[in-house]
Structure 1
Amino acid sequence: MLLAVDAGNTNVVFALVDEGEVRARWRIATDPRRTADEYAVWLHQLLALEGFAAADVTQVIIGTVVPRALHNLTVLAQKYFKVEPLVAGQGAAAWTLRLDVPEPGSVGADRALNALAGHARHQGDLIIVDFGTATTFDVVDFDGSYKGGIIAPGINLSLDALVGAAAKLPRIAIEAPRDRSVVGRTTESQMLIGVYWGYVAMIEGLIARLRSEIGRPAKVVATGGLATLFDQHTHVFDAIEPDLTITGLALLAGQASR
């Protein structure tokens, strides 16, 4: 069984994948100082709760945009799962898609993995929207080439900046508004309208511009924890793929083992 590890700026997601199916997943806050021993204590307990054991893991692949986290995750695989991990974009797990940008080395592993998985699951030109610490928009050509995209502040990052810079504004939860009114009657409702509907407008506007520039019909695939939240009030997404990055890791691991 494959243990796929997606180390992002906010969370590290561990997923057990068996024959392409995600059997279990867990997440923990990203902390580059967290040791392999700390990961192991936490992860072994969660494996047991789901009815699995460390011995069930026969392959590990790591995709990370946090370079400092890689060492301890590598030690975790070596010491506690007795396997040499694959690292997305390196060695046997080198990218199998064309990164058609001036600086291929600067493309984040998560974005390349999303492009790889998106092309494997959907035909034609793609726009992949990933709601993470940052919200990214990635353009994948009909032949599977990664063409570039857009990086925007994530919605929680935007809200943190707003609350941090304005002393009297309260911290609010990000949720879908109860109605479509954009006239807020309280400070909290005005903040939610500004953040939520402002973000919807940004998403729809940027996707419209990307589609216009691509010049061909492009399918929009959304991933990340907040994708379903925005899907409630916009029709711009053609598909929601919560495990797109994990799927990319599984595909890369499968290709590396052939």
Structure 2
Amino acid sequence: MILTVDIGNTTIALALFRCTTKEPIFVEHIESNCSIAVLPYSEWIAETLKKHNVNPTHIQGAVLSSVVPPLTQTLCDAIIKVIGISTYVINARTDAGLTIKNYDVSTLGSDRIVDAVSAMLQWAPPLVVLDLGTATTVSVIDSDGGFIGGLIMPGPTIGIKALSSKTAQLPAIDFKQMAPTNIIGQDTKTCLCNGAIIGTAAAIDGIISRVENELGTPVTVVATGGHCKQILPWCYKQIQYEEHLLLKGLYHIYHNQTQKNC
């Protein structure tokens, strides 16, 4: 069994894979918090494994992607404490099997690398890979399977927080507890919710069209991330949803790099 860890800006995802299945045995989440030390995270990992009746000694490897550098070593240390193995950390220098064209690799997040690799396991390029989380990232894979760049914009939660903190009368809202029923909102909270959800959906539709125009060819669009369930229903473009895209990509890259069998 292989443990995969995705450290995002808002949450950390922990998943376990077996060679005999393409889907994770389980996926659990916890808050990403740089003030939390090794011990609480190790306790969470141990409790999660116990919850799913997994003996830590049966785990042969661990692989991790992180966009929060201060937490990377913390989680690696927590895994050593619980399982006793070192973690394979994906970064810009990892040979993940992705061709990167004319992009400053030193600035490329490991999450975008893993998402791109994972998407190409299931769909043929050209691809647009969306990750709808704290930030909305758009990664473009050309017809040759090369990563050629993309876009990054604030995620809907950041947008709402910025509006509420920088204006006098716009409240903070939790749009995950709201569901738009139509485009035109009839009170301020609904307008904020619609702006966050439908506005992001409209931006995605427009970006996809412009990418297709720039490439001169239609693309397959793949999406993952915590905001997909709210946003994708409002997109006009056809978009493939893969909830565990990054975790599956980590599992694949680990085996390609280590040549280990479960």
TM bin, normalised by shorter chain, reads: over 0.9
Query: Match for residue 11 of structure 1?
Result: 11
Question: Separation in 2 of the partners of 1:148 and 1:202?
Answer: 17
Query: Match for residue 177 of structure 1?
Result: 180
Question: Runs of at least 4 residues of structure 1 off by over 3 A?
Answer: none
88, 91, 96: which is aligned to 2:90?
88
Q: How does 1:111-126 map to 2 (within 5 A)?
A: 111-126=112-127
Query: Match for residue 203 of structure 1?
Result: 204
Query: Secondary structure of the residue that 2:24 maps to in structure 1?
Result: strand
The yes-or-no answer on 1:42 pairing with 2:44 is: yes
TM norm structure 1: 0.93
Given that residues 231 and 237 in structure 1 are in contact (C-alpha distance below 8 angstroms), is that contact kept between their aligned partners in structure 2? no
Q: C-alpha displacement at 1:90, in angstroms?
A: 7.1
Write the deviation string for residues 144-174 of structure 1: whole angstroms up to 9, x where unpaired: 2111000000000000001111232222221
Which runs of 5 or more residues in structure 1 are unaligned? none
127-136 vs 26-35, which moves further? 26-35
50, 73, 88: which is aligned to 1:71?
73
Aligned residues: 255
Q: How does 1:231-250 map to 2 (within 5 A)?
A: 231-250=232-251
Query: Match for residue 24 of structure 1?
Result: 26
Question: Separation in 2 of the partners of 1:144 and 1:251?
Answer: 17
Q: How does 1:44-63 map to 2 (within 5 A)?
A: 44-63=46-65
Query: Secondary structure of the residue that 1:21 maps to in structure 2?
Result: coil
Question: Separation in 1 of the partners of 2:253 and 2:77?
Answer: 21
Write the deviation string for residues 5-46 of structure 1: whole angstroms up to 9, x where unpaired: 111111111111112320111111112232222111112112
CA RMSD of aligned residues (A): 1.7
Pick closer, same or farther for the CA change 1:132–1:7 going to 2, 3 Å. Answer: same
7-16 vs 95-104, which moves further? 95-104
Percent identity of equivalent pairs: 28
